[in-house]
Amino acid sequence: MDFKTLKATLKKNIVVRLRAYQMEFFLGSVLTSFYTALGAWLAYNVLFKNNLSEDFITYSGTGNYMSYIIIGGLAFLFTVRTCLNVSRSLISELREGTLESLMLAPFRRAEYFAGNMLVQTVTTLFETFVATLVALPFGFRLGHTNFAAFICVFLLSLLAFFAVSMLLGFVMLYTRDTYISQNTLFASMALLCGITFPVEYLPVGLQVVSKLIPVTDVVKMYRGTLLSGAALSDITEGMIWVAALSSVYIVIGMGLMKKAEIAALEKIGG
């Protein structure tokens, strides 16, 4: 395989990132993490006077509240940035008037979306690194970190984020809307996926829904490997579940995406 589509997509997206998306996007992501850390610090130190309930410690597995919140915020930042940019790729082509020519070209969907994902992953890694430095003054401290397990979870998380972006991309392209669909999804994920509090606080029905979103277990495993030193043997069940669920998402998303492409092409000029 020569991966022509992948190489072309990588080249195009790198050029776009360098020329079109300047510091404003980078600063916006970093400031979001800053406000999350600041809000959590104020709530913990001013409102709750450094007190944590026994339930929270039991559910979260840690008494390090600030690190718990910051890791969730960083994971959410990574999720939003990767999912958003990958899912918007085809509707951006539609709005720019290049979707029709893209479909006529030797277009390989897997390579095209993978190229978008790779470029966005590198970009977001830098944003996350800077956001981590910003979070340090607010009490962000790692516990007994298992870096080998963390790397495995990180690689698996890319699959999970890619899978979610496929379904979101279908909704965007089919409805020709980005604002309502993306904000609805990300607001739901912020509530259901344990970003700022353990999912055990949710009603049982919502806990079931949260389990069907791969991001939930990814965030939990991030915290486990970074704060509790969880080994691969401790998170094997979660990794298998995320891999299986993400695979289902991708298969369904790719199938639906083809239908959305047909619908979008039919509406061009109509």
DSSP letters along 123-176, please?
HHHHHHHHHHHHHGGGT----S--HHHHHHHHHHHHHHHHHHHHHHHHHHHHHT
Give pLDDT, residue 93: 87
Give pLDDT, residue 236: 94
Amino acid at site 239: M
Give pLDDT, residue 20: 67
* Whole-structure pTM value: 0.91
Q: Which residue, among 177, 191, 161, has the nearest Cα to 253 in the 3D structure?
A: 161
Give pLDDT, residue 248: 96
C-alpha to C-alpha distance for 55 and 35, rounded to whole angstroms? 26
Give pLDDT, residue 95: 86
Walking along the chain (270 residues) 10 residues at a time, the average pLDDT comes out as: 80 79 70 84 83 87 89 92 88 86 82 90 88 87 88 96 94 89 92 93 95 96 92 93 96 92 77
Give pLDDT, residue 21: 63
Q: Can you say whether residue 53 is alpha, beta or left, with left for phi > 0 and alpha for psi between -120 and 50 degrees?
A: beta
C-alpha to C-alpha distance for 80 and 174, rounded to whole angstroms? 20
Give pLDDT, residue 188: 94
- What DSSP designation does 50 have? T
C-alpha to C-alpha distance for 126 and 38, rounded to whole angstroms? 21
**How many Cα atoms occupy the beta-carbon half-sphere of 258 within 13 Å?**
9
Q: Are 259 and 166 in contact (CB under 8 A)?
A: no
Give pLDDT, residue 165: 95
C-alpha to C-alpha distance for 193 and 198, rounded to whole angstroms? 8
